[in-house]
């Protein structure tokens, strides 16, 4: 155990942590993209998928807590490494040495911080469903009848309405661009940090990093781009929009009241259910 602790306290061990958490986050990105690309199918497809996920709270919460832990380790290790790296050169050069290093590698911290800000917004936008930050209205009101006859969230309408807002689509695209930059360096470097690299594999790894980061960029950016250009879902969204219009909350400006009212409604509904039992 002691050797484990001293391993992960060393500079090399911290790079192992960055690489291992990076690989897990990369795998999550692939899975998340496959799930999201269902938006290009009929509305029932992604709505049923969302319904399936929500019917397995253990799976969903397990994945969420796991991801939180992984992201937490990735960021806290990065913070420690950044601090140590800055301390290692107290006096800067007059001529900044910028040769031999790719620009992606010099902007890992910046791209990482923007991606973090994006994750917070993305969770508030489509997971916590905070109204007032999406520029549309209260996504909790969007309901649909699933093919099985049950009532469920209209995730399809939510995503389409969400990305029809220009600044939301733009922020998502910018974040995807920076994720591409971050992965362009990170995917190649994680092999280096874990020791899987030699003169034979170095060019193959470089191709893999370029290919995988480009594929993820195209996949993820296609969703907000296609929706904003009204290539998919515009008619469905138009039909679903009326559900937002019946909002008693009035103007859709951000305020604590509008942010909290759906939570309160949910709580009272929950307690109502409890009481009924």
Partner 1 sequence: MKVTLKVWRQKNRHTPGHFASYQTPQLNPNMSFLEMLDVVNEDLASRGEEPIAFDHDCREGICGTCSLVINGKPHGPHRGVATCQTYLRSFKDGDEIIVEPFRARAFPLVKDLVVDRQAFDRIQHAGGFITVRTGSPPDANAIPVPKESADLAMDAAQCIGCGACVAACKNASAMLFVAAKVSHLGLLPQGQPERYRRVQAMVKQMDAEGFGACTVTGSCEAVCPKEITLDFIARMNRDYGVALLRGAPKKIAGGGA
* Part in contact with partner 1 (CB under 8 A); list of ranges 137-145, 169-177, 184-192, 261-269: 184-192
Is 182 among the residues that bind partner 1 (CB under 8 A)?
A: no
Residue from 84, 150, 238, 264 binding partner 1 (CB under 8 A): 84
Q: Which is nearer to partner 1, 108 or 165 (CB)?
A: 108
Say which residue the tokens 């469920």 belong to.
152
Residue from 55, 192, 257, 268 binding partner 1 (CB under 8 A): 192
Q: What is d(CA 188, CA 207) in angstroms, rounded to the nearest whole number? A: 9
Q: What is d(CA 39, CA 43) in angstroms, rounded to the nearest whole number? A: 7
Is 193 among the residues that bind partner 1 (CB under 8 A)?
A: yes
Kindly state the smallest distance separating residue 213's Cβ from partner 1, in Å: 15
Region for residue 149 given its phi and psi (left: phi exceeds 0; alpha: psi -120 to 50; beta: otherwise)? left
7-36 binders of partner 1 (CB under 8 A): 7, 10-16
Q: Which is nearer to partner 1, 24 or 259 (CB)?
A: 24
Q: What is d(CA 35, CA 169) in angstroms, rounded to the nearest whole number? A: 19
Q: DSSP characters for 90-143? A: SS--SS---SSS-HHHHTHHHHHHHHHHHHHHHIIIIIS--TTSSSS--GGG-E
Which of the 8 DSSP states describes residue 196?
A: -
Is 102 among the residues that bind partner 1 (CB under 8 A)?
A: yes
Q: Which residues bind partner 1 (CB under 8 A)?
A: 3-4, 6-7, 10-16, 81, 84-85, 87-102, 105-106, 108, 185, 188-189, 191-199, 202
């Amino acid at each position: 155990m002691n050797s484990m602790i001293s391993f992960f306290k060393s500079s090399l061990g911290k790079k192992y942590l960055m690489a291992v958490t990076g690989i897990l986050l990369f795998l999550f990105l692939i899975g998340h993209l496959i799930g999201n690309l269902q938006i290009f199918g009929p509305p029932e497809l992604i709505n049923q998928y969302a319904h399936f996920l929500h019917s397995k709270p253990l799976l969903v919460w397990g994945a969420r807590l796991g991801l939180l832990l992984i992201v937490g380790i990735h960021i806290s290790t990065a913070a420690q490494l950044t601090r140590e790296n800055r301390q290692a050169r107290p006096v800067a050069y007059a001529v900044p040495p910028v040769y031999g290093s790719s620009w992606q590698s010099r902007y890992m911290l910046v791209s990482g911080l923007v991606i973090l800000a994006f994750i917070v917004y993305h969770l508030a936008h489509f997971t916590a469903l905070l109204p007032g930050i999406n520029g549309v209205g209260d996504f909790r009101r969007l309901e649909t009848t699933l093919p099985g006859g049950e009532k469920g969230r209209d995730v399809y309408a939510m995503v389409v309405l969400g990305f029809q807002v220009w600044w939301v689509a733009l922020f998502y695209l910018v974040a995807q661009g920076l994720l591409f930059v971050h992965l362009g360096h990170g995917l190649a470097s994680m092999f280096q940090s874990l020791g899987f690299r030699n003169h034979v594999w170095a060019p193959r790894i470089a191709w893999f990093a370029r290919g995988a980061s480009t594929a993820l960029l195209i996949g993820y950016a296609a969703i907000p781009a296609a929706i904003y250009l009204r290539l998919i879902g515009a008619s469905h969204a138009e039909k679903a929009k009326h559900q937002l219009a019946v909002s008693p909350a009035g103007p859709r400006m951000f305020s604590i009241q509008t942010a909290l009212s759906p939570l309160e409604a949910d709580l009272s509904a929950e307690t109502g259910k409890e009481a009924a039992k």
